[in-house]
Amino acid sequence: ILNVEQSPQSLHVQEGDSTNFTCSFPSSNFYALHWYRWETAKSPEALFVMTLNGDEKKKGRISATLNTKEGYSYLYIKGSQPEDSATYLCASRNTDKLIFGTGTRLQVFP
Amino acid sequence: DSGVTQTPKHLITATGQRVTLRCSPRSGDLSVYWYQQSLDQGLQFLIQYYNGEERAKGNILERFSAQQFPDLHSELNLSSLELGDSALYFCASSVGGLNQPQHFGDGTRLSIL
């Protein structure tokens, strides 16, 4: 994989549902994986930065895992709420720069 | 509030013109990054400065240049503007390098008429 890819592109879930999405990144020369939350009309907000294979991070109902050997990270949201509606971006550092994916747009319906 | 300030918020200008976008990083942050987000595209990295020195370059056009001043604020200069330069330009800052989270400003929306 030469690029950072996120799937699905968009997701609609009901309030209370748990959901997850994927970020795939180059596994060679890996340094760090970032997750950001981007609400409409606002700026991206940092969620996690992970560097170690097997790393897991948690912030409230949101958690993320990292597999550097196979080049993927999962972001999980437990019990989605309407305020979780946003685009979730991941970015991989494989060289001297961050490469961003195009994001997963999550919409949570009440 | 991320603590990163970008001005102006909106800029409308014509083709061939030159503009300067400004960014004040979060207090204590030494690194400044510039990104471009065009319609239907993700965030594209342009350039990074660390404590006044250029650290990394992305796909930044030759018509674009940037600098970081001793007080750590940064400016992105865009010249000979073309219609395709219309985009949202973000500045972000971090304490150190790329293993630190980045804090984004609200962006400058540039429209070329």
> Would you call A40 exposed, middle or buried from its count of C-beta atoms within 10 A (0-12, 13-18, 19+)?
exposed
User: What DSSP designation does B43 have?
Assistant: -
Q: What is the pLDDT of residue A2?
A: 60
For A18-52, the pLDDT digits (tens) are 999 999 999 988 999 999 999 988 999 999 999 99
pLDDT tens, residue by residue, B40-49 = 788 999 999 9
Contact B98 A42 (CB under 8 A): no
pLDDT value at residue A94: 86
pLDDT of residue A1: 47
Contact with chain A for residue B100, Cβ under 8 A:
yes
Confidence band of A77 (pLDDT split at 50, 70, 90): very high
Yes or no, beta carbons of A100 and B98 under 8 Å apart: no
Q: Do A99 and B45 touch (CB under 8 A)?
A: yes
In this predicted structure, the answer to whether residue A61 has a pLDDT above a threshold of 80 is yes
Preferred mutation among A5, A6, A33, A43 to probe B, highest tally of B CBs within 10 A:
A43
pLDDT at A85 exceeding the cut of 60: yes
Tens-of-pLDDT digits for all 113 residues of chain B? 889 999 999 999 999 999 999 999 999 999 999 999 987 788 999 999 999 999 999 989 999 999 999 999 999 999 999 999 999 999 999 998 888 999 999 999 999 99
Q: What is the mean pLDDT of chain A?
A: 94
- Closest-CA residue in chain A for B2? A45
Strands annotated E in chain B: 5-7, 10-13, 19-24, 31-37, 44-50, 53-57, 64-68, 74-78, 87-94, 103-104, 108-112
Task: Among A42, A55, A98, pick the best mutation site for testing chain B contact (most B Cβ within 10 A).
Answer: A98
Across the interface, do B99 and A43 touch by the CB < 8 Å criterion?
no
Q: Measured between CA atoms, how close is A67 to chain B, in angstroms?
A: 16
φ and ψ of B79, to 5 deg = -125, 170
